[in-house]
Structure 1
Amino acid sequence: MQRFNPTVSAASDQPWPVRVAWGVGSLVAFLLFWEVLALVIHHRHLPTPTVVFAAMAREFASGELTYHIGMTLFRVVIAFVFAMSIGSAIGIVMGRNGRIDQFFDTWLVLFLNLPALVIIILCYVWFGRTEVAAIIAVAVNKLPNVAVTVREGARALSRDLAEMAHMYRFGWWKTLRHVTLPQLAPYFLASARTGLSLVWKIVLVVELLGRSDGVGFQLSTYFHLFDVSMILAYALAFIAVVQLIEFGILQPIAARVNRWRR
């Protein structure tokens, strides 16, 4: 039998300044390791962090970094909202109706296993290299994941709570707001958090293949120039933005949604 380790469980209960200090310390250690390794190897394809951050600062000062990150975030937000809305609706319907679930389950499996690159190429072929085609390609790649996750939540809805709402004559709006959505909230949140990491990666591929702006386009440009410092500058800048969204928006929402469980 595995023994309970109080140290492991207590780590997550540490005050946030302690957790932040550990995270910052780990990041500083990684940057120091990177700096020393780059200085030892001394190759143009492995620039030091100071060179990368200097390139990032130049791009930010010129406005190029802000513009391209802004365009990528625009596509991420539009595709993310579209995929979450349509995917959640599909998941709820499939989770609550067994016949519809059986009929469309094969479709869902097909789209889950269809490579993202195929969807992107087909969208560009069918709709042209337009903004609409790019957003559709990203949303279609994310939509099946949302549907699968929300479907499991719809299947797990409590019949007792539904019967209680019917007995007390809540009506459809109060039932949706106070009974259904609170039970589905963790599944929505799981879809959102995993979806963000998936969507921004697909957006970069979409931009690399068919757009004239965005972080993916810049990565493609500097790849052809073999400019590793600029590649890392754009990649790290966008990773920082995604992390800010995660810690500044999604995690506070998660804490609020799960507060009733405590």
Structure 2
Amino acid sequence: MTQTLAARTERRSRWLWRIAGYVFFVGLWQFTSTFLVADFIVPPPAVILAEMWEIVASGQVWVHFGATLRTIAVGFVIAYVLGSVMGLLMGRSKWWEAFLSDWVMATLTTPGLIFALVTAMIFGLGATGPIVAVIVTSFSYIAVNVVEGVKAVPRDLTDMARSFGRPQAYILRHVYLPFLAPYLFTATRYGFSIAWKIATLAEVIVGTAGIGFMMRQKFQQFEMQGFLAWVLLFFAFALFLERVVLQRQMKHVLRWRPEVAR
């Protein structure tokens, strides 16, 4: 009972501080647009909210968010499969690690802008360039986390499973996956956040639809309120996917681990 009450108090405290952070940010924004900068450069929050509502009511948000989500869905699924396979190979074999590690590290440390520009030059306008950019920039985050998870698996468990004649598929399912689950979710969160950024960036450069395309359009027209409205819609949607979808799924799947599920 005491632990439950303490947990509720802690959650309430976190929410209060989170709300306080938003209030402070909006207050600072309002102060800036009122006293420090002209409102056509930094429009006040009420103007941006009205613009966001117009975008949602007109249906543009569904068209362009849908285009960006398709890019992310295709690119990230391919990156996730590719990164997971490479991570398993590198984690279980020093030969594969020597063969792949430098290339994985190179893509991990290279700025995403470079891949966005290269894919734009190769594929030109359209959806192919952003999808390839998402794959190239995201798979390394998956691979690195999977490698760490594979190396964290206790050697005694794998040796015992082999000594009892268990096949590789059984060992992978009942030994590796339970240890890999937290690493896979961490890889999903980091890789997905990178996929969002690079997809939007690639759309800014060569997109013909999507959130980045609309940001570029508003930027070229120097329409600050429209630009900020799309930026905040992007922020709200990404935050919704992170907090409501990914974190809840992680807590549900890893509910057997108290330090993760709480």
RMSD: 2.1
Equivalent position amino acid for 1:193 in 2? R
Alignment-derived partner of residue 180 in structure 1: 176
Alignment-derived partner of residue 106 in structure 1: 102
1:211 to 202, 207, 212: 207
Aligned partners of 1:80, 1:220: CA distance in 2, in Å? 23
Alignment-derived partner of residue 63 in structure 2: 67
* 22 and 131 in structure 1: CA distance in 2 versus 1, 3 angstrom threshold: same
Alignment-derived partner of residue 116 in structure 1: 112
Alignment-derived partner of residue 22 in structure 1: 17
Aligned partners of 1:13, 1:149: CA distance in 2, in Å? 32
Aligned partners of 2:162, 2:105: CA distance in 1, in Å? 35
Percent identity between matched residues is: 33
After TM superposition, give the deviation of residue 56 of structure 1 in Å: 0.6
Equivalent position amino acid for 2:126 in 1? T
Alignment of structure 1 residues 119-198 onto 2, 5 Å: 119-198=115-194
* 133 and 182 in structure 1: CA distance in 2 versus 1, 3 angstrom threshold: same
After TM superposition, give the deviation of residue 58 of structure 1 in Å: 0.9
Aligned partners of 1:256, 1:117: CA distance in 2, in Å? 35
* 160 and 249 in structure 1: CA distance in 2 versus 1, 3 angstrom threshold: same
Alignment-derived partner of residue 7 in structure 1: none
Q: Which moved more, 1:204-213 or 1:65-74?
A: 65-74
* 170 and 102 in structure 1: CA distance in 2 versus 1, 3 angstrom threshold: same
- Structure 2 residue matching 1:213: 3-state secondary structure: coil
Match status 1:201 vs 2:185: no
- Compute the TM-score of the two structures, normalised by the length of structure 1: 0.88
Give unmatched runs, 5+ long, in structure 2: none
Decide whether the 8 Å contact of 2:139 with 2:191 is kept in 1.
no
* 238 and 32 in structure 1: CA distance in 2 versus 1, 3 angstrom threshold: same
Aligned partners of 2:23, 2:49: CA distance in 1, in Å? 14
Decide whether the 8 Å contact of 1:34 with 1:49 is kept in 2.
yes
After TM superposition, give the deviation of residue 89 of structure 1 in Å: 0.7
Decide whether the 8 Å contact of 1:204 with 1:215 is kept in 2.
yes
Decide whether the 8 Å contact of 1:59 with 1:65 is kept in 2.
yes
Aligned partners of 1:201, 1:242: CA distance in 2, in Å? 10
Aligned partners of 1:93, 1:243: CA distance in 2, in Å? 33
Alignment of structure 1 residues 215-234 onto 2, 5 Å: 215-234=211-230
Equivalent position amino acid for 1:224 in 2? Q
Equivalent position amino acid for 2:202 in 1? V
* 234 and 160 in structure 1: CA distance in 2 versus 1, 3 angstrom threshold: same
Equivalent position amino acid for 2:250 in 1? A
Alignment-derived partner of residue 34 in structure 2: 39
Alignment of structure 1 residues 91-102 onto 2, 5 Å: 91-102=87-98
Q: Deviations over 1:81-136 (max 9, x none)?
A: 11111011101101111012112222223222333222223223333333223201
Decide whether the 8 Å contact of 1:92 with 1:154 is kept in 2.
yes
1:48 to 27, 44, 50: 44
After TM superposition, give the deviation of residue 12 of structure 1 in Å: 7.8
Aligned partners of 2:225, 2:55: CA distance in 1, in Å? 12
Aligned partners of 1:46, 1:106: CA distance in 2, in Å? 44
Q: Which moved more, 1:121-130 or 1:229-238?
A: 121-130
* 139 and 11 in structure 1: CA distance in 2 versus 1, 3 angstrom threshold: farther
Match status 1:246 vs 2:237: no
* 12 and 82 in structure 1: CA distance in 2 versus 1, 3 angstrom threshold: farther
